[in-house]
């Protein structure tokens, strides 16, 4: 509950400021010696330190912008966390101000600390991110008072897409954990939560026109005990929660492969002679009758909707599903998967992608798919998610298609934090994917990029603690690589700043991996 005081007089103690004024230091390029103690991740575009400190007391007045409710809520939560009592008054110590004339884009902001704290942005999203930067400049727990460096920050992101992907299909993840993950993402200015909602091992979103998808398809998982699904109402509520944290949820319905959960729910979606087929993609555990049954293994590439033989049924199914998904999710893009069709339907795959893009267009949405979908004749406003380091993406780029970067040897967070970490994959990076490896990704080396996303596949991730261990602190590196410009990125400085934020990760309850470079042992 918000603790707003019923008085409007600013205590004199709040005016206590540092006495020493020094010449301003412009940190608009790479971090300088004087700005290295500005422990913000991702690092801002411009940091100018002014010398001296501003003392923030335990009782203050604030001014918020009525047209910016999300940033106001974020500020209220921050003050509550630090046990700072506040009232709203024009004579404010902390001011949130909207200024649409600022040329900082949709997510940019200014943060000024001098005789008070002023956060200015053209949008509510920008003000929200200004609050996140202020939060990192403060301790994570309540203190008698708070000394903040006098500074001027001007900041906006390099890329609009700064994402995390959670595979909730292989092993189900609760709504409560998703909310925690959204809050953690927002703290590091990550703004896209890609939910991999369907796969061979589970169908996780309620589709009312095809009810057996959740009656049958949601009952299984790789771990054997993490079945479940999200009702449409639950997902709508989660979307609202995420939007208040400036996070957009991107739904993925993987098609036409990775569909065993759908086929087990509705056998007619498979080709009629599928039980007589030899093993597909060396999946020896899925032959005969198993081609029509629920699956809890980890093999990939064996399943597919039978569009080549049953186009009317399959495309009716796809349209029904995507229509309901589009009604639930307001996102501009619908992710339709489109990867690893390594089976009987491989030859029909390009035509399938072309047809599904037409369905997506009819829903007034844009297509997002894994890189293999470039085989289809898709619209130039589509996005492809680039995951295979060696995939020839040039033909798609020539069509004007843009990329979400998820090259597996840099960003696949189901791989180990270190060489030999138990219960992690090695198929893409045999030595694991260290924090430094993630940070070494240079998006600027790729063409037509909208941003970066860190996927975490969940075959080997069956609980929240393991998910935390795989995602954090590596998602913080994803955040900086996608927000901060290359000229300002420096791994040693990043690790020093992130190390100083450990208390914040602890406060959020993150069960992170203690990366050696952070000195957290």
pLDDT confidence of residue 119: 98
- Residue 395: exposure state from Cβ atoms within 10 A (0-12, 13-18, ≥19): exposed
Residues 6+ apart with CB under 8 A from 497: 36, 38, 39, 40, 41, 43
Compute the distance between CA of residue 430 and CA of residue 425 in angstroms, rounded to an integer: 8
Catalytic residue positions? Answer: 340
pLDDT confidence of residue 89: 86
pLDDT confidence of residue 34: 55
Q: For the chain, which residues score pLDDT lower than 70?
A: 1-36
pLDDT confidence of residue 5: 36
Compute the distance between CA of residue 411 and CA of residue 470 in angstroms, rounded to an integer: 11
Please give the domain boundaries of the chain with CATH numbers for all domains: 12-155 (3.30.379.10), 161-518 (3.20.20.80)
Compute the distance between CA of residue 82 and CA of residue 504 in angstroms, rounded to an integer: 12
Cα-based torsion angle of the residue sequence 67, 504, 435, 433 in order, rounded to the nearest 10 degrees: -90
Residues facing 500 on adjacent strands: none
pLDDT confidence of residue 90: 81
Phi, psi of 456 (to 5 degrees): -130, 100
């Amino acid at each position: 509950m918000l603790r707003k005081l019923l008085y409007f007089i600013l205590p004199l103690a709040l005016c206590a400021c540092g006495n020493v004024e020094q010449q301003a230091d412009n940190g608009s390029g790479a971090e300088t010696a004087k700005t290295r103690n500005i422990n913000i991740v991702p690092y801002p575009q411009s940091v100018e330190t002014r010398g001296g400190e501003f003392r923030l007391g335990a009782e203050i007045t604030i001014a918020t912008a009525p047209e910016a409710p999300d940033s106001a809520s974020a500020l209220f939560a921050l003050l509550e966390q630090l046990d700072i009592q506040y009232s709203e008054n024009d004579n404010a110590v902390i001011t949130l101000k909207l200024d649409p004339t600022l040329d900082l884009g949709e997510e940019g902001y200014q943060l000024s600390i001098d005789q008070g704290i002023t956060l200015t942005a053209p949008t509510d999203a920008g003000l929200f991110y200004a609050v996140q930067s202020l939060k990192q400049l403060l301790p994570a727990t309540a203190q008698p008072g708070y000394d903040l460096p006098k500074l001027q920050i001007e900041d906006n992101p390099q890329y609009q897409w700064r994402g995390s992907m959670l595979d909730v299909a292989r092993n189900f993840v609760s709504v409560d954990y998703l909310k925690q993950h959204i809050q953690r993402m927002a703290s590091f200015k990550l703004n896209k939560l890609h939910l991999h909602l369907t796969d061979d091992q589970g169908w996780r979103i309620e589709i009312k026109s095809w009810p057996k998808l959740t009656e049958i398809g949601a009952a299984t998982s790789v771990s054997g005990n993490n079945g479940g699904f999200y009702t449409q109402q639950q997902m709508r509520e989660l979307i609202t929660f995420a939007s208040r944290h400036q996070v957009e949820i991107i739904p993925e319905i993987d098609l036409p492969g990775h569909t065993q959960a759908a086929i087990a729910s509705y056998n007619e979606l498979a080709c009629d002679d599928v039980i007589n087929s030899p093993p597909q993609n060396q999946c020896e555990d899925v032959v005969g009758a198993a081609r029509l049954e629920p699956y809890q293994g980890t093999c990939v590439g064996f399943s597919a909707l039978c569009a080549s033989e049953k186009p009317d049924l399959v495309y009716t199914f796809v349209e029904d599903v995507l229509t309901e998904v589009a009604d639930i999710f307001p996102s501009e893009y619908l992710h339709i998967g489109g990867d690893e069709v390594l089976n009987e339907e491989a030859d029909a795959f390009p035509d399938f992608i072309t047809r599904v893009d037409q369905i997506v267009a009819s829903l007034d949405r844009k297509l997002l798919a894994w890189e293999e979908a470039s085989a289809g004749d898709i619209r130039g406003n589509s996005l492809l998610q680039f995951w295979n380091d060696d995939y020839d993406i040039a033909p798609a780029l020539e069509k004007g298609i843009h990329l979400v970067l998820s090259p597996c040897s840099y960003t696949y967070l189901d791989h180990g934090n270190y060489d030999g970490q138990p219960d992690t994959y090695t198929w893409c990076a045999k030595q694991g994917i260290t924090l430094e490896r993630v940070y070494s990704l240079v998006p600027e080396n790729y063409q037509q990029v909208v941003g970066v996303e860190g996927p975490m596949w969940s075959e080997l991730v069956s609980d929240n603690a393991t998910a935390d261990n795989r995602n954090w602190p590596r998602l913080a590196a994803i955040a900086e690589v996608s927000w901060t410009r290359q000229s300002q990125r420096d791994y040693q400085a990043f690790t020093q700043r992130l190390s100083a934020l450990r208390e914040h990760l602890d406060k959020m309850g993150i069960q992170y991996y203690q990366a050696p470079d952070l000195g957290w042992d």
